[in-house]
Amino acid sequence: MPGSLRIGKIWGIDIAFHVSWLIIAVLLSWTLETGWFSVNYPGWSVGAYWSVSILATLLLFLSVFLHELAHALVARARGLHVKSITLFIFGGVSNIEQEPPAPDIEFQMALVGPLTSLALGGLCGLLLLVIGSKTSPVGAILGYLALTNIFLGIFNLVPGFPLDGGRVLHSIIWKLRGNVHVATRIATRVGQFFAYLFIFFGLMSFFRGAYLNGLWIGFIGWFLLMGAVSANNQSMLETMFKGVHVDDVMNRGPATVPANISLQKLVDDFLLPHGWRSAFVMQVDELVGLITLSDIRHIPRAQWAQTPVGFVMIPLARLHTVTAEQSLNDVLPLMVGQDLNQLPVVQEGHLLGSINREDIMRFVEIKRSLGLDQVNA
Ligand SMILES: [Zn+2]
């Protein structure tokens, strides 16, 4: 995630925090100092209020981290690869590279987060009872952590994507109905309902004069709504491309040029007359690279006549290639993630064709026109 700072590694998982968290940390410490500890625990020194506020903020940060770590460790114990945990404005995100392969695994992975928060809250509450001095600085911090962790646990159980509760609901429907896409559709609808509920209460509070709370609740609702919509879109695309292979949508006659011609000849005889923006470069009948307009632009025009295409092209070793048998659901994340417009389809060094975004869009358009894009719920 851009704007993240790495702070270390635990059990092979990168731990980072997003710069936005620093702003929240300052705001939260300040809010706690002025609006919580000095109001609820009168009679301390200014220094005590600030120390307690900063310490409480850091411990809350640690609580959120433990919540995320619980998700990550369960995911890893179930065989999923966890790359990193990033802490940011709302809490944290675990960068788990695969979707859970079965509903039971998703259920365990999602539920362990809120359970961790509730357990931490319970533990802090218990410690508070043990030490008995509710008005001391230590008691004040324990009380605050008990409240916030229990709130975090309950809030995360709200069944709205992308909250943990939404994933728990998703896994239960998945188990009952046996179809992950149907589960996504139902769970995201429930998620949207809760999102609108948050937005509605946010607006109500705002117009009743609780401006900041209203905005905050409304903002959470909007965030949930975006999460639900994007999860649903993703699932619809996956359904549409289920069982579709590269072979079904690839262009069998992609633009090719020989490696030994000059850039001048490439421009005059191939790119300009055909309107091509790129071409695969061939040596006899083997694919050796790709040449695009931006590669040519880097070479001064005076040198075009003497420079062979093979010198300027992106060599095969630096290209992503796919095979005809690959599923489109595997290829699309690569194209979107790396922002690639087209990929060569290769078999034992031979170019079978190319797959590009326009062909995929056309495929989607035809399916949609024929009404073949509906999920059977
Ligand atoms: Zn969580």
27 and 130 share one domain: yes
Q: How far is the CA of 38 from the centre of ligand 1 (A)?
A: 31
Task: Report the domain count for the chain.
Answer: 2
pLDDT at 2 over 70: no
Q: Which residue has the higher pLDDT, 267 or 231?
A: 267
CATH code for position 298: 3.10.580.10
Pairing of strands 91-96, 13-18: unpaired
Q: How far is the CA of 108 from the centre of ligand 1 (A)?
A: 11
d(CA 353, CA 161): 39
Q: How far is the CA of 72 from the centre of ligand 1 (A)?
A: 10
Q: Which residue has the higher pLDDT, 20 or 346?
A: 346
149 and 285 share one domain: no
123 and 18 share one domain: yes
Q: Say whether 283 sits in a helix, a strand or coil.
A: strand
Told to judge if 68 belongs to the known catalytic residues of this protein, a careful annotator would answer yes
205-234 in b/e form (b: 16+ CB < 10 A) is bbeeeeeeebeebbebbebbbebbeebbee
Mean pLDDT, range 202-224, rounded to an integer = 83
Instruction: Supply angle C-alpha 200, 189, 154, rounded to 5.
Output: 65
- Residue 363 — pLDDT band, cuts 50, 70, 90? confident
In a domain, 71, yes or no: yes
In a domain, 233, yes or no: no
273 and 134 share one domain: no
Residues with C-beta atoms within 5 A of ion ligand 1: 113, 164
- Selecting among 68, 99, 238, 325, the annotated active-site residue is 68
The per-residue pLDDT for 334 is 76
In a domain, 365, yes or no: yes
272 and 153 share one domain: no
In a domain, 165, yes or no: no
Range of 69's domain?
4-157
pLDDT digits (tens, 9 = 90+) for 155-202: 889 888 778 898 999 999 999 998 888 888 888 889 889 889 989 989
Nearest alpha carbon to residue 351 among 219, 214, 246: 246
d(CA 162, CA 76): 20
Q: Show which of 157, 181, 203 is a domain's final residue.
A: 157
pLDDT digits (tens, 9 = 90+) for 334-356: 777 667 788 899 888 788 998 88
In a domain, 132, yes or no: yes
pLDDT at 376 over 50: no
Q: How far is the CA of 273 from the centre of ligand 1 (A)?
A: 56
Q: Show which of 157, 189, 218 is a domain's final residue.
A: 157
Q: Answer yes or no: is 164 a known binding residue.
A: yes
Q: How far is the CA of 64 from the centre of ligand 1 (A)?
A: 9
In a domain, 174, yes or no: no
Q: Answer yes or no: is 71 a known binding residue.
A: yes
Mean pLDDT, range 363-368, rounded to an integer = 79
In a domain, 104, yes or no: yes
Nearest alpha carbon to residue 166 among 117, 214, 216, 226: 226
In a domain, 206, yes or no: no
Rg (CA), the chain: 28
pLDDT digits (tens, 9 = 90+) for 98-144: 678 889 999 999 999 999 999 999 999 999 888 877 778 888 889 99
Q: Which residue has the higher pLDDT, 34 or 315?
A: 315
d(CA 233, CA 239): 10
Least confident of 90-94, 187-191, 223-227, 270-274: 90-94
Contact between 49 and 33 under an 8 Å Cβ cutoff? The reply is: yes
Q: Show which of 132, 157, 182 is a domain's final residue.
A: 157
Max mean pLDDT range (219-233, 274-288, 325-339):
274-288
